[in-house]
């Protein structure tokens, strides 16, 4: 929200305070200011006297005469009266320059916004042979708003020569741009009066604003019938006559531009100014368009059509609140008026509405109809219903002061059936002290609250605090809210930091956390994986490319892009997409991601509390090689090695691979394996399915591993006991055989282990060799680790074992043993 310091100074005695300096205190004590801007001279480098000098060159001037420029058709030579006594001649190309026009003149030495947007200091120029000093300017040239249409037309009678900064204080001003979000809980700060009150308290200066006095007549013009007092706690209106629609006075036009509003006409501008000043939005109806003599506040009928004054047609719902005359809705309450009753250029009689509406209703309607207006933004914050009368009076006074011949022509209709009871909070000084953790007495607490216009009755430590109405609607309701008032007033900087002293607690580690941590260490610290993160959303083409069904995914109501509308059920669509993005640069990739997937559970019943789906934590690993042959299985066995190493750090029993019964669609149906830990399946390893590779346009050979981290965490911890060291020397015995590819290495290992179980401590396969000479076979080398518990092994035992081993391998497995 834009704030004008010159306007604030009208309501509190703070005009001599440096608005730039005080803005930091405001940020630290009230709400965040995004930007502080000194306006008036578009060049921020100019300060002090130089700035004042430049400002003194911008003044009101009157066009006395115009004659054509001898050299240029579009230019005129203009005689102006700038109050200096002697008429001056300048050249102007603005289309609206004409004799009698009162405008703004920027003399030599003034700084304006040049055509390129940069500040330009005016100097004497010769324009098509005619010398010209200074120029009549547009709003945009003065850095006020974006109106380039022509030179400023001053509608009100201001003497030529008057400095613009004197005629319109908002010309030379300091603007704050307050972060609206930080005012969400401060309905009282959505107008300059409320802000002035806060700033006055902050600076310990008097707050001087009082609502003006306006005399209403005794006549009834329009009655009010509030059929929805729950949604409209207060509704007031009155009539005015003798209105003449026209441009607003110059000071108001400039102020509105400064506050981010485009001036429209006096009546619209007065309602806007009232909203920006008092904080309560108003609406003016053209009296001619209101049928009957009663305004009705009611819920809309379901499907009721209504066109707002921005020309948009809406279908209302029973949750919307409308203002209606005898026949039709004329406004969408608190959001926007109707096209059917808007003020026109020839309006002379108006009915002015000032009301208070239910915050949630206004917000719902504004969100649903996408009419997020300045009005709805204020009402949805829960405004103080007492603002209604202040705003009524302020507006009437503006009209009466600025439109000669205007008058109030009715009594003040004010339906306010149930003014809220005063809000009272009991609090004690000790509570404030303990919550803030600073030394403060009850008397000091009372003083702060009083300065912020709370009423406080103190009895020793106990305070009875009455909340002022402008803070009572939403913001302040419980003792903790008062703690905040005291804290921000004193400045949180003044609180000394002390660590809490608390009792010791029993140590506790979530199992999943140590699972992830150990796996991350094994894979990313030891096995050379780069830990990546990818989005939780999937593109449909990637889902389909991975041979998965988009309909088996959770869809988003409002995806960030229509191309990625589903939540991932697997880490691989995004990881494979990453491999593809990287593969031209990175011929070998090792990526690991630890993250959740989101599995829809069609059987789950919707619950108010728990999300009805499962969202297990998974590890997704990919190994890629752009130059590998598609038949090469090296990557697979590298992945197997890395995964089993990682799982062995988990202390949850032995890690192994087994046949994968139901390979996921993304997996190669043969080159895949189930991964088990302590006998339970915890994931799988697989080469990417060739169809997926083709579909996605993947150039590299890729092996994936998927580990269900929650499944690991669910496994009980197993500590493998120490095995006694052998007392007698052992030996190793190696055997190499050419084995049919249909035989698995594990089968041979098992057979070899069973040959002499009492002396065989371990059997491993340590080398694999394939040769094109034997397409159906591979050479496997096994090593038997042998030892006896009670004695040294004999040569005979070894020979016997050798004989049995050769025979078993040849007979059972149809293998050829190398000699």
CB under 8 Å to 506, separation ≥6 — which residues?
none
Q: Can residue 496 be called a binding residue for another protein (CB under 8 A)? A: yes
What angle, 0 to 180 degrees and rounded to 10, lies between the N-to-C axes of helices 192-203 and 266-278?
30
Q: Can residue 531 be called a binding residue for another protein (CB under 8 A)? A: yes
Least Å distance, CB 514 to another protein, is: 10
Q: How far is CA 665 from CA 17, 592, 621, 687, in A?
A: 71, 20, 17, 11
Which of residues 561 and 819 has its CB atom nearest to another protein in the complex?
561
Least Å distance, CB 256 to another protein, is: 25
Least Å distance, CB 299 to another protein, is: 16
Q: Can residue 690 be called a binding residue for another protein (CB under 8 A)? A: yes
Q: Which stretch binds another protein (CB under 8 A): 127-135, 161-169, 528-536, 804-812?
A: 528-536
Q: Can residue 558 be called a binding residue for another protein (CB under 8 A)? A: yes
- Residue tagged 């704050």 (tokens): 176
Q: Can residue 722 be called a binding residue for another protein (CB under 8 A)? A: no
Q: Which stretch binds another protein (CB under 8 A): 112-120, 123-131, 343-351, 514-522?
A: 514-522
Q: How does DSSP classify residue 140?
A: G
Which of residues 237 and 467 has its CB atom nearest to another protein in the complex?
467
Q: Can residue 451 be called a binding residue for another protein (CB under 8 A)? A: no
Least Å distance, CB 70 to another protein, is: 51
Applying CB under 8 A, among 10, 88, 520, 648 the residue interacting with another protein is 520
Site map for another protein, 660-679, x if CB under 8 A? --------xxxxxx------
Task: For residue 257, give the nearest of 139, 109, 169, 373 by alpha carbon.
Answer: 139
Which of residues 187 and 249 has its CB atom nearest to another protein in the complex?
187
Task: For residue 289, give the nearest of 235, 234, 346, 248 by alpha carbon.
Answer: 346
The 3-state secondary structure of 71-104 reads CCCCCEEEEEECCCCCCEEEEECCCCCCCCCEEE
Q: Can residue 29 be called a binding residue for another protein (CB under 8 A)? A: yes
Helix spans in 214-279 (H): 250-258, 266-278
Q: Can residue 439 be called a binding residue for another protein (CB under 8 A)? A: no
Which of residues 87 and 690 has its CB atom nearest to another protein in the complex?
690
Q: Can residue 613 be called a binding residue for another protein (CB under 8 A)? A: yes
Q: Can residue 757 be called a binding residue for another protein (CB under 8 A)? A: no
Least Å distance, CB 499 to another protein, is: 5
Least Å distance, CB 607 to another protein, is: 7
Contact between residue 324 and residue 330 where contact means Cβ atoms under 8 Å apart: yes
Site map for another protein, 633-662, x if CB under 8 A? xx-xxx-xxx-x------------xxx---
Q: Can residue 359 be called a binding residue for another protein (CB under 8 A)? A: yes
Q: Which stretch binds another protein (CB under 8 A): 217-225, 252-260, 262-270, 774-782?
A: 774-782
Q: How far is CA 247 from CA 160, 348, 649, 716, in A?
A: 19, 15, 79, 81
Angstrom distance (rounded) from CA 104 to CA 660: 84
Dihedral over alpha carbons 720, 722, 723, 727 (to 10 degrees): 170
Helix spans in 649-743 (H): 690-696, 709-714
Span 284-323, contacts to another protein by CB under 8 A? none
Q: Can residue 437 be called a binding residue for another protein (CB under 8 A)? A: yes
Q: How many residues does the chain have?
A: 819
Least Å distance, CB 300 to another protein, is: 17
Span 726-745, contacts to another protein by CB under 8 A? 741-745
Which of residues 289 and 570 has its CB atom nearest to another protein in the complex?
570
Angstrom distance (rounded) from CA 30 to CA 140: 33
Q: Can residue 816 be called a binding residue for another protein (CB under 8 A)? A: no
Which of residues 225 and 581 has its CB atom nearest to another protein in the complex?
581
Q: Can residue 435 be called a binding residue for another protein (CB under 8 A)? A: yes
Dihedral over alpha carbons 105, 111, 112, 115 (to 10 degrees): 130
Sign of CA dihedral 286, 290, 295, 297: negative
Span 170-199, contacts to another protein by CB under 8 A? 181-186
Q: Which stretch binds another protein (CB under 8 A): 99-107, 193-201, 410-418, 775-783?
A: 775-783
Angstrom distance (rounded) from CA 722 to CA 705: 31
Contact between residue 639 and residue 653 where contact means Cβ atoms under 8 Å apart: no
Q: How far is CA 294 from CA 224, 228, 322, 735, in A?
A: 6, 15, 14, 105
Q: From its phi and psi, is residue 117 left (phi > 0), alpha (psi between -120 and 50) or beta?
A: left
Buried b (16+ CB within 10 A) or exposed e, 569-602: bbbbbbbbbbbbebbeeeeebbbbbbbbbbbbee
Size of the site for another protein (CB under 8 A): 136
**Interstrand relation of 329-332 and 321-324 (parallel, antiparallel or unpaired):** antiparallel
Angstrom distance (rounded) from CA 623 to CA 705: 9
Q: Can residue 440 be called a binding residue for another protein (CB under 8 A)? A: no
Which of residues 411 and 518 has its CB atom nearest to another protein in the complex?
518
Least Å distance, CB 345 to another protein, is: 36
Site map for another protein, 30-69, x if CB under 8 A? xxx-------------------------------------
Which of residues 406 and 574 has its CB atom nearest to another protein in the complex?
574
Least Å distance, CB 594 to another protein, is: 8
**Interstrand relation of 655-658 and 617-625 (parallel, antiparallel or unpaired):** unpaired
Sign of CA dihedral 238, 243, 247, 250: negative
Q: Can residue 373 be called a binding residue for another protein (CB under 8 A)? A: no
Site map for another protein, 582-611, x if CB under 8 A? x--xx--xxx-xxxx-x-x-----xxxxxx
Applying CB under 8 A, among 500, 697, 729, 772 the residue interacting with another protein is 500
């Amino acid at each position: 929200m834009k704030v004008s310091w010159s306007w604030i100074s009208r309501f509190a005695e703070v005009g001599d305070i440096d608005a730039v300096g005080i803005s930091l205190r405001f940020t630290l004590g009230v709400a965040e200011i995004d930007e502080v801007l000194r306006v008036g001279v578009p060049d921020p480098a100019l300060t002090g006297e130089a700035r004042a000098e430049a400002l003194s060159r911008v003044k009101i001037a009157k066009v006395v005469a115009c004659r054509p420029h001898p050299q240029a058709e579009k230019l005129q030579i203009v005689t102006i009266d700038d109050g200096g006594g002697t008429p001056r001649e300048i050249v102007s190309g603005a289309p609206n320059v004409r004799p009698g026009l009162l405008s703004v003149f920027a003399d030599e030495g003034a700084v304006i916004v040049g055509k390129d947007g940069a500040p330009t200091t005016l100097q004497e120029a010769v324009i098509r042979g005619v010398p010209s000093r200074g120029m009549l300017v547009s709003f945009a040239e003065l850095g006020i708003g974006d109106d380039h249409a022509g030179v400023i037309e001053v509608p009100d009678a201001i003497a030529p020569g008057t400095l613009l900064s004197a005629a319109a204080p908002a010309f030379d001003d300091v603007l704050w741009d307050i972060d609206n979000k930080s005012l969400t809980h401060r309905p009282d700060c959505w107008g300059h009066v409320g802000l002035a009150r806060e700033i006055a308290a902050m600076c310990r200066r008097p707050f001087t604003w009082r609502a003006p006095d306006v005399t209403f007549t005794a006549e009834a013009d329009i009655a009010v019938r509030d059929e929805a007092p729950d949604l409209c706690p207060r509704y007031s209106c009155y009539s005015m006559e003798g209105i003449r629609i026209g441009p607003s006075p110059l000071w108001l036009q400039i102020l509105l531009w400064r506050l981010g509003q485009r001036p429209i006409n006096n009546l619209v501008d007065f309602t806007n100014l009232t909203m920006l000043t008092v904080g309560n939005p108003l609406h003016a109806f053209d009296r001619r368009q209101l049928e009957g003599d009663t305004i009705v506040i009611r819920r809309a009928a379901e499907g009721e059509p209504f066109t707002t004054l921005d020309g948009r047609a809406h279908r209302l719902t029973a949750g919307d609140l409308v203002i209606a005359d005898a026949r039709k809705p004329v406004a969408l309450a608190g959001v926007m008026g109707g096209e059917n009753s808007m003020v026109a250029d020839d309006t002379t009689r108006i009915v002015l509405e000032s009301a208070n509406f239910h915050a949630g209703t206004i917000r719902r309607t504004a969100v649903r109809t996408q009419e997020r207006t300045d009005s709805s933004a204020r009402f949805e914050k829960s405004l103080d219903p007492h603002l209604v009368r202040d705003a009524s009076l302020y507006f009437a006074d503006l009209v009466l002061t600025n439109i000669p011949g205007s008058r109030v022509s009715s009594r003040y209709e004010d339906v306010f059936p149930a003014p809220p009871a005063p809000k009272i909070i009991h609090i004690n000084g000790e509570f404030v002290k303990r919550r803030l953790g600073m030394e403060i007495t009850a008397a000091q607490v009372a003083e702060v609250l009083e300065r912020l216009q709370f009423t406080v009755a103190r009895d020793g430590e106990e305070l009875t605090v009455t909340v002022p109405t402008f803070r009572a609607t939403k913001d302040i309701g419980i003792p903790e809210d008062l703690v905040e008032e005291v804290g921000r007033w004193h400045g949180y900087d003044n609180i000394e930091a002390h660590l809490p002293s608390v009792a010791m607690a029993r140590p506790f580690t979530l199992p999943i956390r140590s699972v992830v941590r150990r796996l991350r260490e094994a894979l990313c610290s030891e096995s050379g994986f780069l830990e990546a993160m990818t989005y939780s959303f999937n593109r449909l083409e990637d889902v389909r490319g991975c041979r998965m069904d988009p309909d088996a995914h959770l869809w988003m109501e409002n995806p960030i892009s229509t191309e990625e509308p589903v939540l991932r059920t697997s880490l691989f669509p995004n990881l494979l997409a990453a491999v593809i993005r990287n593969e031209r640069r990175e011929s070998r990739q090792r990526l690991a991601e630890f993250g959740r997937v989101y599995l829809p559970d069609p059987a789950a019943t919707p619950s108010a509390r728990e999300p009805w789906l499962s969202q297990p934590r998974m590890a997704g690993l990919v190994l890629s090689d752009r130059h590998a042959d598609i038949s090469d299985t090296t990557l697979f066995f590298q992945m197997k090695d890395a995964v089993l190493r990682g799982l062995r750090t988990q202390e949850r029993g032995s890690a192994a691979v087994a046949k994968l019964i139901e390979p996921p669609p993304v997996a190669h149906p043969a080159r895949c394996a189930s991964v088990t830990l302590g006998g339970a399946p915890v994931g799988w390893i697989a080469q990417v399915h060739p169809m997926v590779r083709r579909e996605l346009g993947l150039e590299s050979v890729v092996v994936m591993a998927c580990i269900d981290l929650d499944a690991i965490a669910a496994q009980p911890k197993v500590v493998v006991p120490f095995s006694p060291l052998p007392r007698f020397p052992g030996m190793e015995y190696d055997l190499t055989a050419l084995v049919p590819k249909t035989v698995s290495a594990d089968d041979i290992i098992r057979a070899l282990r069973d040959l002499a179980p009492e002396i065989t401590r371990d059997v491993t396969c340590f080398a694999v060799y394939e040769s094109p000479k034997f397409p159906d076979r591979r050479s496997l080398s096994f090593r038997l680790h042998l030892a006896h518990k009670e004695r040294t092994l004999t040569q005979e035992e070894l020979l016997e074992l050798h004989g049995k081993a050769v025979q078993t391998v040849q007979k059972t497995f149809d293998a050829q043993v190398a000699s």
